[in-house]
Chain A
Amino acid sequence: MMVAPALSLLLVFLLLPSIYVGWLSFQASTYGQHARFVGWANYATIFADPVFWRALGNTLVLVQVVVYGELLLALLLALLLAAPLRGKALIIALLLAPYAITETSAMAMWRYMLEPDVGLINQALVGIGLGQIDWVTQRWTALTVAGLIAVWHHLPFSFLIIYSAVTTVPRELMEAAEIDGARPWQRFRHVTLWVIMPALLVAVLFRTIFAVRLFSEIWLLTGGGPARLTEVLSVYLYRETFKYHEFGVASATGSIMLLLSLLVALPYLWRLYYRLVRGA
């Protein structure tokens, strides 16, 4: 009975909308018309669209770059800042600052700084002879830039989780390992990593799910262009919903994204379950 309110909320705000989206993905639906059952036609439309496959590829690449890039950076910073350090509070505050900036403002700022002719970053790069970052016409450059901005913006999330885990590593364990002759890398691998693994898995799990939905970084930087080359699944879904008003196709895209999130997150979920529930 104690969990009934929480379960009710989950039912109303998550399960029922998910069932509705699943149902809608088998309908032809737009404003002003009754939904009409079309079977798997919406999925067939999506799978026949080359833009979808490109968006899927872009999404998968970005998820890997963003999640693991961010995790690695957050881990390094957490280990660095776990040691006694002057100005630690200020550094942590600076690290957390991007999270306080709204995505829209952040992207407007980056878009301006990366402007080919007058952007500060490109001007500086040209000044030192490295040439411009051609993110406006190059697909992979644009995606890399979007990925780096996503890492910059969401780093505080992973950092906080990992940093709090690193600070809980028992000092006695580390001292015992040191007395036993373990080198720094061995202490990290066999003590620290073991203790913080649940936190790492939680960070990876959440960031993976968020990264599959990555939208603002692409929409506000490139709009999915040029020539829809940098489109990701959430932008594809946005177009189907708000530009084409094809809610059946949009729901099918949403369902595919949900499935993709589950597939990508499944190994981490299993690992968490294995460690936490079965106590292995």
Chain B
Amino acid sequence: MLTRRGILRAGAATTAMLAAPHIGRAAGKLSISCHAVHKKVITTGPGGDITEEWRKANGVEIEWLTFGVTAANERAFQEASLGEGHLDVTFLLDRFDGPQFATLFEDLGTWNAKTPIPDYAEFPQGMLDAHRFGSKQVGIPFRHATHGLHMNRTFMKERGIAGPPKTLDEAVADFRKLSFTRDGTKVYGLVFDMEDPSCAMDWVRAYGGDFITHDYKVVVDQPGAVKAMTTLHALFHEGVIPRNVVNMKTEDVITFMQQGRAAMTDQPFTRTFNYNDPKASKFPGQFEVTPLPLGVDGQPIPAKTSVWGMALPRNTSQKALAWSLVRHLSLPESTIRAAMNGNGPVRPSAYKDPRVIKSLPYAAQEAEALKHARLVVPGFANAAKAMDMFIEAMGAVLLDAKQPQAAMTELAARVRPLLPSA
């Protein structure tokens, strides 16, 4: 029977549970928030479950909370802002991270000083810097996603193209040749997504331009970026790039490539598994991926890379255990096994391991591309806003709303006040 005393007891018990969320947490459990791909490359594939040994040694089970890219970062910030969070390890992507959020996370430099990660010096400085703000190391690199040029060999053969383009001019000529109609389907020479400037930056840098340099200078109004915009505008209006490119997301690019509606794209190397997937692709086994061609200066184009790092929310009650897992996942052997499962290895030595070479058909090419790769933008508080402004300006160029030089000059003027030194 429902009594007033019973209701009061239930209310008190609920209040106690809400006030002390850690009571509800199972003992021997570590919670990780990440993108689905992180869980996949850590637990599934030829490299096996990398955490198995660690879990047995520590008597701990892992609770995986997987999200899309934006949601994974958002969840990390939300949980880390609470008095006591539910997450012990979070994965952060460089361009979502920023100095304003650094206070939410542990300084992993301190943890590394106490219990060092073996061969820590092997991590490329650029990858460490992607998650370093001031003297604070917020994240330990776990995965990189570096762009290569993907191409459909069937289409290249049909259009009389012998092999991957060596130079930027050859690439642009190939994009044009590969724009044709095949069995009633319009094939576009080049496709990319415009969710953020990742793909566009490859072509801006190909022409010797950039958006924001590593020392926070806006150079998007310089001739390189303007020339890139002019070329992309021309390709857009010639029908070499699809008209809906302005609204395209990564999933759209995958669909275009798998369905034979586009011939080439600049996307992370690992995406070749999606394009060649016999269950989803009309051209399984027909996609090749190479480093981007040489730019206008005759040097390799600095391909876009992004770096996912592992961070420890400051409010986790299991810091030592969480660091122990981060350290385990950062071991040279763990890096190799994750690479075998499809991860972009953050230790260059992994590319020389025979097991990785066997598992990743593009290992040598990706290692080569990584040598010259750059982040989309350096980390700063307003990076997300600046990137949105870039996409807005690029859209205006493609749609003829603004001339390339005028759009880039205006963009530079809008972005400069957002930079740390301003």
Q: Which residues of A are interface residues toward B (Cβ below 8 A)?
A: 30-33, 51, 115-118, 134, 136-137, 222-223, 225-229, 239, 242-245
Contacts and interface: CB of A to CB of B under 8 A. Distances in A.
B36 interface: no
B80 interface: yes
A227 B395 CA distance: 5
Contacts of B233: none
Contacts of B244: 115-116, 136-137
A229 B246 CA distance: 11
Nearest to A117: B186
B385 interface: yes
Contacts of B261: 117-118
A228 B392 contact: yes
Contacts, number: 79
Interface in B376-393: 382, 384-385, 388, 391-393
A32 B101 contact: yes
A32 B247 contact: no
A227 B80 contact: no
Contacts of A244: 382, 384-385
Counting from the closest, the 3 A-B pairs by CB-CB distance are A227-B395, A226-B246, A136-B244
B292 to A, nearest CB: 25
A30 B246 contact: no
Interface stretch (B172-180, B294-302, B349-357, B396-404): B396-404
B242 A116 contact: yes
B70 A223 contact: no
Contacts of A32: 77, 80-81, 100-104
Interface size class of B (residues with CB under 8 A): 35 or more
Contacts of B195: 223
A31 B77 contact: yes
Contacts of B185: 117-118
A31 B81 contact: yes
A242 B74 contact: yes
B78 interface: yes
A138 to B, nearest CB: 9
B194 interface: yes
Given A227-B395, A242-B74, A244-B384, A137 B243 contact: yes
A227 B401 CA distance: 9
B80 A222 contact: no
Contacts of A136: 243-244, 246-247
Given A31-B77, A33-B103, A116 B243 contact: yes
Contacts of A239: 388
A92 B249 CA distance: 37
A93 B389 CA distance: 45
Nearest to A246: B385
A235 to B, nearest CB: 12
23 contacts: A30-B100, A30-B101, A31-B78, A31-B80, A31-B81, A32-B80, A32-B103, A32-B104, A33-B103, A116-B243, A117-B242, A136-B246, A136-B247, A137-B399, A222-B247, A223-B247, A225-B391, A226-B247, A227-B391, A227-B392, A228-B395, A243-B384, A244-B382
Contacts of B392: 51, 227-228
Nearest to A239: B388
Interface string B60-89: 000000000010001001101100000000
Nearest to A222: B247
Contacts of A227: 246, 391-396, 399, 401
Contacts of A245: 77, 100, 384
Nearest to A115: B244
B388 A243 contact: yes
Given A137-B244, A244-B384, 11 more contacts: A30-B100, A32-B80, A32-B102, A32-B103, A115-B244, A116-B243, A117-B242, A242-B70, A243-B385, A243-B388, A245-B100
Contacts of B382: 244
Nearest to A223: B247
